[in-house]
Amino acid sequence: AQSVTQLGSHVSVSEGALVLLRCNYSSSVPPYLFWYVQYPNQGLQLLLKYTSAATLVKGINGFEAEFKKSETSFHLTKPSAHMSDAAEYFCAVSGDTDKLIFGTGTRLQVFP
Amino acid sequence: SQTIHQWPATLVQPVGSPLSLECTVEGTSNPNLYWYRQAAGRGLQLLFYSVGIGQISSEVPQNLSASRPQDRQFILSSKKLLLSDSGFYLCAWSGGVGLDTQYFGPGTRLTVL
């Protein structure tokens, strides 16, 4: 069985500051891991995914995430936050089925 | 390229009324299709998924049902809505080749009064 824990339901940063959104997973098989972003009243958009190739994954909008098996983590980072990054971010895991298991989400606020 | 549509975008319905939400996918064949509900502060809950026409798996027993009458059409229904059915409903598709990425539609905001 798979599960995902996102630490911090709300994260606030200043524009230009580092963004760090935390995700820890549990999986009995080698996982595939995903980060999605959701803007208000819209669907989810894929930011990046890890599929057992390189452990550092680069995504859209300057985001990247690093898969750390020893820590069962897949944290999302961006060196410099923009106002347009304000949204809700979801981490998800899939393992031995076609189904994704989502975390409860982290709302990112960016202050000028 | 593939696109996914959902309608309506918003819906306000009285308690006890029926529901029909539609999702269609273009540009792919034999996709896996998914219905999720997103309630405030509760993340995404998988409701149903389908790997082919007429094949529906239910994840959570509830007041809703799903059907897949055509390869790229997925419908979410209810005979009598409850207040607790309010939420943001998202349809998604994947390539159906195990562990593939899911792509989401724009969603339907349902308010039950």
Q: Tens digit of pLDDT for each residue in B62-73?
A: 889 999 999 999
Nearest to B102 among A97, A100, A103 (CB): A100
The string of DSSP codes covering B7-43 is E-SEEEE-TT--EEEEEEEES-SS-EEEEEEE-TTS-
- Within 8 A of B96 by CB-CB distance, chain A residues are 98
Per-residue CA distances from B12 to B19, B76, B89, B112 (Å): 10, 16, 13, 6
How many other CB atoms sit within 10 Å of the CB of residue A88?
Answer: 20
| pLDDT (0 to 100) of residue A85 | 97
Q: How far apart are CA B38 and CA B42, in angstroms?
A: 7
**Which two three-digit tokens encode residue B19?**
């529901």
Mean predicted confidence (pLDDT) in B29-47 = 88
Q: How far apart are CA A43 and CA B42, in angstroms?
A: 15
Q: Tens digit of pLDDT for each residue in A5-16?
A: 999 999 999 999
Q: Is A40 on the interface with B (CB under 8 A)?
A: no
- What pairs with residue B53 in β-bridges? none
CA angle A35, A37, A39 (to 5 degrees): 170
Q: How confident is the model at residue B99 (pLDDT cuts 50, 70, 90)?
A: low
CB contact under 8 A, A98 and B99: yes
| Closest residue, chain A, to B6 (C-alpha) | A43
Q: Tens digit of pLDDT for each residue in A78-112?
A: 999 999 999 999 999 987 677 888 999 999 999 99
- What pairs with residue A87 in β-bridges? A108
